[in-house]
């Protein structure tokens, strides 16, 4: 024992003391299929451990999911292909034990045994502080809270240690589900406040690198740009303690490398695989690919109404009839996802959203419509794509361009740098014909319409306005789904959206996750890696 | 010797205006980039108000001059600012990522020189021979294959098919403890504490990316060695040396190579600088946490502080590099006085 190497010490120490005594993972084999440890890879990078901080990117939201809890959560259901998915229709307790909802307020009773990871109890004051923070720091969290009619700190009241009250601005079906999205996470306010300064009253600097939550996992190590190591919270109180002890999440930018790692079995899980790899690996032994269509999301081709010819709905319909849907789906999506074309009727039979639009590829019909609209001679239009999403936008644009040429429209492909894309397409809404990808977290058609069809709203990059849709969306947005008026109104909205096609649906995208010696990956609407349910095989 | 120290000091002083220029230019250029970081970082669903909040938080609502003065003031305190993309202080990012890139590049260049210089000499000794053509073929093949292609190919063969190489997961497999940071070079740091297991672990990870880069950088070095050796070998003093009956070895390495080294060292400096920048693709393929991919991502995200920090550190690095090259000139060829210019 005298001249041990450091590694030798940690190996033996790890065996004797139990791995939890280590500061973090140091001595584990790369082939982690021991059932206790999972090695996962993803292409993106986590840039903060605090979702509320400005500048925190999407991939970082998984930390909020795995390390923090919310008052409530969604249930779990099985998808048709045997995978797991969150269940939008079921709201389950997380930090809250029970709740009562009236038209004016929501009252939550917290679990009395609820503990943060440092062992201190979860109180209503923590919830109030966290909610205040979510609406006060601005940026995306504030916007998302607002979607659930949660706008001001005055709405949140800590009645006593275990009772938390939300004063509602309006009765809305969106409020409760909005409490289960990653944003209203519950932070240990005692720890946060101890590290807050006058310049930084919400402790953004501290929580940025040091989470203080009650979630199922702790962050054992974070090396920005390289890896994040999660370690199970043995004293988890908001749900069952996870089956997996540790998850090592490595950032590997190259998809080819991620694929090789998964194929070789050196990693257990590859998150958000490219469609091509998912398709090619789906028959491979030992690798399970779970492909889940992303709810409430559509990849669209948007004709902008500020461009003269597109003011005429017949021209927009002509474009919709000209898209080579099947080729687009095969080439750009490798057939992963759901077709959103070829609907049978021009009036929807139910309120499922998204559902196939009543268009398919019919160039004669497209030509006739153009003729009718007085554009028989065709016109020239730039077709804009984002270089940041070139993987699917470029093949789509090329195929669409080819077919538009056949009906006399000359489309010139305009490549916009990723950093400018949002400003050009969503803020200035100045791209005459472009591709767009909105997906709503809250899974209601009215919520999709709110963002994507109302004039001036962010994702309505087509500058579309229709009086009837404006009215109907406002009426249905907060209306309960079981209201008898809800379904007819939604159907009418879908019918208009189909007829006027300011957004031409191409397909519903899917999230691919490749697994090797792990099971029970659960899909969530936020499309980030939720590790709480994972199990070794 | 004090003369040399003095002139080194002089050279360092001469670098000051260059660095000031770089500070100004990098500041202006990043602002001239299209794209608005506030919009980018506010996220997809942000509204006008939240974008404005972020703009204020980032200090982007101030005038350019004010922003510049704040930036320079911070720089003077050694503060490179905060990267919005990684959420870390830029200085920390650079300290972590620069050694990773330098270690890879230096090792690759050592390998590259070790192969390319003998190849070049061999080719120059017998121009037009089989060896010459072989050398030309090897280096042309090396430079014509893009690094990401060579990288993926090497991974496919040595990791995927043969299983000889470790998983391409960055600088160190996670079964090893990373050595305490002294230089930031894992090879050196692990050697210092005598932890040879980690040393070989790091070396294994380095092997494939370094070979990839080495293949790519062999061409200019080999070609330059060949050309320089050819011209030196045909010069009068070599003929004299040969006539005097010196051994071929003495002629080649004692006289010819030493005289041919100057252009090779110059090329090496240039190759080093472009390799450090061109690393990006290799870094992506091998998940290497290096400076190249950091800079590219910062550019894409309009992350001003990170881009400026990168440009500035590169500028400082090149000033140092040029200084080293100039000093090595005078060591290689005493006729080139460091002072006399």
pLDDT of A536 reads 85
Neighbouring CB atoms inside 10 A of A11's CB total 16
pLDDT of B111 reads 93
Instruction: Give mean pLDDT, residues A509-529.
Output: 92
| pLDDT reading at A20 higher than 80 | no
Backbone phi and psi for residue B256, each to the nearest 5 degrees, phi listed first: -65, -55
Q: Distance of CA A513 to CAs A269, A270, A440, A517, A529, Å? A: 7, 6, 20, 13, 9
Assigned domain for B107 exists: yes
CA distance B299 to B306: 8
| pLDDT reading at A1 higher than 60 | no
Q: Are A439 and A467 in contact, with CB atoms under 8 Å apart?
A: no
Choosing among B30, B37, B44, which should be mutated to test the A contact, i.e. which has the most A CBs within 10 A? B44
Instruction: For residue A52, give the nearest of A160, A169, A133, A163 by alpha carbon.
Output: A133
Say yes or no: A48 contacts chain B, CB-CB below 8 A. Answer: yes
pLDDT of A6 reads 42
Say yes or no: A252 contacts chain B, CB-CB below 8 A. Answer: yes
The pLDDT tens digits for B51-102 are: 787 788 777 888 888 888 888 888 888 888 888 777 788 998 898 889 999 9
Assigned domain for B155 exists: yes
pLDDT of A137 reads 86
The pLDDT tens digits for B220-271 are: 899 899 999 999 988 898 889 889 888 888 888 888 888 888 888 888 888 8
Instruction: For residue A185, give the nearest of A98, A69, A72 by alpha carbon.
Output: A69
Report the domain count for chain B: 1
Least confident stretch, A14-23, A318-327, A483-492, A498-507: A14-23
- pLDDT level of residue A85 (50, 70, 90 thresholds): very high
Q: Residue B139 belongs to what H/E stretch?
A: helix B130-144
| pLDDT reading at B283 higher than 50 | yes
Assigned domain for B22 exists: no
| pLDDT reading at A16 higher than 70 | no
Assigned domain for B1 exists: no
Reduce the DSSP state of residue A156 to 3 states and report it: strand
Least confident stretch, A105-109, A488-492, B120-124: B120-124
pLDDT of B12 reads 81
Choosing among B50, B60, B91, B97, which should be mutated to test the A contact, i.e. which has the most A CBs within 10 A? B50
Pick B3 or A264 by higher pLDDT.
A264
| Planar angle of CA B24, B29, B33, nearest 5 degrees | 155
Assigned domain for B176 exists: yes
Q: Are B134 and B214 in contact, with CB atoms under 8 Å apart?
A: no
State the burial class of residue A207 (Cβ atoms within 10 Å of its Cβ: 0-12, 13-18, 19+): buried
pLDDT of B171 reads 87
Instruction: For residue A56, give the nearest of A140, A134, A145, A181 by alpha carbon.
Output: A140
- Tell me, what CATH number does B209's domain have? 1.10.3720.10
| pLDDT reading at A334 higher than 80 | yes
| pLDDT reading at A9 higher than 50 | no
Nearest-by-Cβ selection for A139 from B43, B152, B297: B43
Nearest-by-Cβ selection for B46 from A139, A252, A451: A139
Q: ipTM of this model?
A: 0.75
The pLDDT tens digits for A358-375 are: 999 999 999 999 999 999
Domain encompassing residue B248: 90-300
Instruction: Give mean pLDDT, residues B184-202.
Output: 87
Percentage of chain B lying above the pLDDT 70 cut: 95
Assigned domain for B35 exists: no
The pLDDT tens digits for A258-268 are: 999 999 888 99
Choosing among A178, A252, A419, which should be mutated to test the B contact, i.e. which has the most B CBs within 10 A? A419
- pLDDT level of residue A168 (50, 70, 90 thresholds): very high
Say yes or no: A140 contacts chain B, CB-CB below 8 A. Answer: yes
- Domains plus CATH for chain A? 32-254+515-536 (3.40.190.10), 297-508 (3.10.105.10)
Assigned domain for B334 exists: no
Beta-carbon separation of B197 and A10 below 8 A: no
Q: Distance of CA A241 to CAs A46, A122, A231, A237, A532, Å? A: 24, 17, 11, 8, 8
Mean pLDDT, chain A, rounded, equals 89
| pLDDT reading at A379 higher than 90 | yes
Strand partners, A86: A76
Say yes or no: A201 contacts chain B, CB-CB below 8 A. Answer: no
Mean pLDDT, chain B, rounded, equals 85
| pLDDT reading at B332 higher than 90 | no
Please report residues of A whose CB lies closer than 8 A to that of B297: 45
Percentage of chain A lying above the pLDDT 90 cut: 76
The one-character DSSP state at A388 is: G
Instruction: For residue A93, give the nearest of A79, A80, A75 by alpha carbon.
Output: A75
CA distance A137 to B57: 10
Pick A95 or B328 by higher pLDDT.
A95
Least confident stretch, A277-291, A470-484, B51-65: B51-65
CA distance A469 to A454: 7
Beta-carbon separation of B46 and A140 below 8 A: yes
Beta-carbon separation of B87 and A53 below 8 A: yes
Q: State which of A16-25, A456-465, B331-340 shows the largest mean pLDDT.
A: A456-465
CA distance A241 to B102: 43
Instruction: For residue A467, give the nearest of A486, A447, A492 by alpha carbon.
Output: A492
Q: State which of A364-378, B156-170, B192-206 shows the largest mean pLDDT.
A: A364-378
Enumerate the H helices of A137-202 as residue ranges: 139-147, 175-178, 189-194
Please report residues of A whose CB lies closer than 8 A to that of B168: 252, 257, 260-261
Least confident stretch, A8-12, A398-402, A497-501: A8-12
The pLDDT tens digits for B11-63 are: 788 888 888 888 898 888 888 877 677 777 776 666 777 778 778 877 788 88
A525 contact partners, CB below 8 Å, separation of at least 6: A86, A88, A181, A294, A295, A296, A441, A442, A443
Beta-carbon separation of A226 and B198 below 8 A: no
Please report residues of B whose CB lies closer than 8 A to that of A261: 167-169
Beta-carbon separation of A54 and B155 below 8 A: no
The one-character DSSP state at B179 is: P
Which residue of chain A has the CA closest to B194? Answer: A5
| pLDDT reading at A40 higher than 60 | yes
Nearest-by-Cβ selection for A7 from B93, B167, B176: B176
Least confident stretch, A20-29, A418-427, A510-519: A20-29
| pLDDT reading at A29 higher than 70 | no
The pLDDT tens digits for A180-213 are: 999 999 999 999 999 999 988 999 989 999 999 9
Please report residues of B whose CB lies closer than 8 A to that of A225: 86, 93, 97, 289, 294
pLDDT of A244 reads 92
| Planar angle of CA A119, A121, A124, nearest 5 degrees | 150
Beta-carbon separation of B87 and A224 below 8 A: yes
Nearest-by-Cβ selection for A257 from B33, B35, B155: B155
Nearest-by-Cβ selection for B285 from A30, A227, A254: A254
Instruction: Give mean pLDDT, residues B295-321.
Output: 85
Nearest-by-Cβ selection for A266 from B152, B156, B167: B167
- A149-176 exposure pattern, b = at least 16 Cβ within 10 A, e = fewer: bbeeeebbebeeebebbbebeeebbbbb
Instruction: For residue A448, give the nearest of A395, A498, A494 by alpha carbon.
Output: A494
Least confident stretch, A244-248, B182-186, B191-195, B297-301: B297-301
Q: Are A354 and A296 in contact, with CB atoms under 8 Å apart?
A: yes
Beta-carbon separation of B54 and A55 below 8 A: yes
Beta-carbon separation of A55 and B289 below 8 A: no
Instruction: Give mean pLDDT, residues B208-230.
Output: 91
CA distance B236 to B257: 15
Least confident stretch, A300-309, A362-371, B302-311: B302-311
Please report residues of B whose CB lies closer than 8 A to that of A250: 169-170, 287
B54 contact partners, CB below 8 Å, separation of at least 6: A54, A55, A138, A139, B38, B41, B42, B46
pLDDT of A23 reads 37
Assigned domain for B246 exists: yes
Q: Which two structure tokens, joined as six digits, stand for B22? A: 């770089």
């Amino acid at each position: 024992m005298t001249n041990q190497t450091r590694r030798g010490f940690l190996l033996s120490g790890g065996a004797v003391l139990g791995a939890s005594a280590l500061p973090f993972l140091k001595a584990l084999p790369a082939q982690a299929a021991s059932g206790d440890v999972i090695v996962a890879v993803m292409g993106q990078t986590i840039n903060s451990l605090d979702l509320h901080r400005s500048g925190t990117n999407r991939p970082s939201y998984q930390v909020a999911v795995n390390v923090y809890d919310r008052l409530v959560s969604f249930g779990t259901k099985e998808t048709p292909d045997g995978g797991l998915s969150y269940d939008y229709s079921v709201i389950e307790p997380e930090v809250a034990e029970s709740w009562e909802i009236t038209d004016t307020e929501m009252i939550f009773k917290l679990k009395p045994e609820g503990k943060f990871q440092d062992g201190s109890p979860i109180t209503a004051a923590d919830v109030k502080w966290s909610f205040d923070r979510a609406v006060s720091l601005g940026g995306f969290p504030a916007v998302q809270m607002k979607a659930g009619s949660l706008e001001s700190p005055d709405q949140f009241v800590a009645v006593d240690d275990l009772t938390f009250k939300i004063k509602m601005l309006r009765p809305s079906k969106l409020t409760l589900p909005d409490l289960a999205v990653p944003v209203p996470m519950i932070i240990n306010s005692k720890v946060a406040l101890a590290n807050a300064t006058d310049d930084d009253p919400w402790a953004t600097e501290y929580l940025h690198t040091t989470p203080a939550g009650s979630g199922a996992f702790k962050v054992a190590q974070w090396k920005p740009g390289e890896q994040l190591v999660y370690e199970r919270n043995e004293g988890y109180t908001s749900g069952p303690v996870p089956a997996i002890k540790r998850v090592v999440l490595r950032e590997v930018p190259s998809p080819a490398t991620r694929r090789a790692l998964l194929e070789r079995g050196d990693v257990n899980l590859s998150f958000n695989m490219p469609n091509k790899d998912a398709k090619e690996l789906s028959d491979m032994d030992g690798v399970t690919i779970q492909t889940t269509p992303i709810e409430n999301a559509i990849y669209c081709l948007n004709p902008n109404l500020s461009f003269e010819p597109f003011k005429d709905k017949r021209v927009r319909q002509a474009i919709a009839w000209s898209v080579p849907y099947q080729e687009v789906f095969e080439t750009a999506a490798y057939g992963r996802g759901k077709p959103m074309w070829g609907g049978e009727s021009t009036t929807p039979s139910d309120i499922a959203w998204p559902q196939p639009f009543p268009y398919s590829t019919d160039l004669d019909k497209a030509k006739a419509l153009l003729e009718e609209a007085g554009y028989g001679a065709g016109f020239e239009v730039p077709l804009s794509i984002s270089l940041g999403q070139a993987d699917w936008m470029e093949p789509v644009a090329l195929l669409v361009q080819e077919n538009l040429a056949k009906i006399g429209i000359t489309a010139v492909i305009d490549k916009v740098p990723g950093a400018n894309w949002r400003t050009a397409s969503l803020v200035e809404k100045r791209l005459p014909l472009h591709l767009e990808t909105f997906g709503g977290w809250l899974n209601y058609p009215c919520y999709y319409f709110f963002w994507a069809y109302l004039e001036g709203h962010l994702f309505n990059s087509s500058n579309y306005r229709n009086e009837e849709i404006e009215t109907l969306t406002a009426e249905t947005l907060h209306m309960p789904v079981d209201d008898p008026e809800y379904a007819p109104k939604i159907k009418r909205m879908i019918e208009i959206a189909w007829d006027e096609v300011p957004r031409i649906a191409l397909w519903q995208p899917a999230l691919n996750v490749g697994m090797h010696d792990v099971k029970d990956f659960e899909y969530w609407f936020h499309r980030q890696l939720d590790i709480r349910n994972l199990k070794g095989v | 010797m004090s003369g040399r120290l003095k002139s080194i000091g002089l050279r360092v002083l001469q670098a000051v205006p260059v660095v000031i220029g770089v500070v100004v230019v990098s500041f202006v250029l990043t602002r001239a980039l299209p794209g608005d970081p506030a919009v980018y970082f506010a996220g997809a669903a942000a509204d006008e108000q939240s974008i404005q909040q972020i703009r204020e938080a980032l200090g982007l609502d101030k005038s350019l001059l004010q922003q510049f003065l704040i930036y320079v003031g911070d720089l003077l305190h050694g503060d490179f600012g905060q990267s919005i993309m990684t959420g870390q202080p830029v200085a920390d990012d650079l300290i972590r990522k620069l050694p990773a890139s330098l270690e890879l590049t230096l090792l690759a260049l050592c390998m590259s020189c070790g192969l390319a210089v003998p190849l070049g000499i061999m080719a120059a000794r017998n121009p037009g021979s089989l060896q010459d053509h072989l050398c030309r073929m090897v280096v042309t093949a090396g430079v014509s294959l893009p690094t990401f292609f060579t990288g993926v190919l090497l991974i496919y063969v040595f990791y995927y098919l043969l299983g000889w190489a470790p998983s391409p997961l960055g600088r160190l497999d996670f079964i090893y403890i990373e050595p305490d940071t002294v230089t930031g070079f894992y090879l050196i740091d692990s050697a210092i504490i005598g932890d040879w297991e980690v040393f070989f672990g790091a070396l294994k990870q380095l092997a494939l990316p370094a070979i990839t880069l080495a293949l790519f950088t062999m061409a200019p070095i080999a070609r330059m060695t060949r050309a320089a050796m050819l011209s030196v070998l045909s010069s009068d003093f070599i003929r004299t040396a040969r006539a005097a009956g010196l051994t071929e070895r003495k002629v080649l390495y004692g006289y010819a190579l030493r005289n041919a080294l100057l252009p090779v060292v110059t090329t090496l400096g240039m190759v080093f600088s472009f390799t450090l920048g061109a690393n990006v693709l290799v870094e992506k393929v091998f998940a290497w946490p290096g400076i190249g991919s950091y800079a590219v991502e910062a550019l894409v995200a309009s992350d001003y502080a990170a881009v400026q920090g990168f440009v500035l550190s590169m500028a400082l690095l090149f000033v140092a590099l040029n200084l080293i090259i100039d000093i090595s000139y005078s060591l290689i060829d005493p006729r080139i006085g460091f002072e006399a210019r």
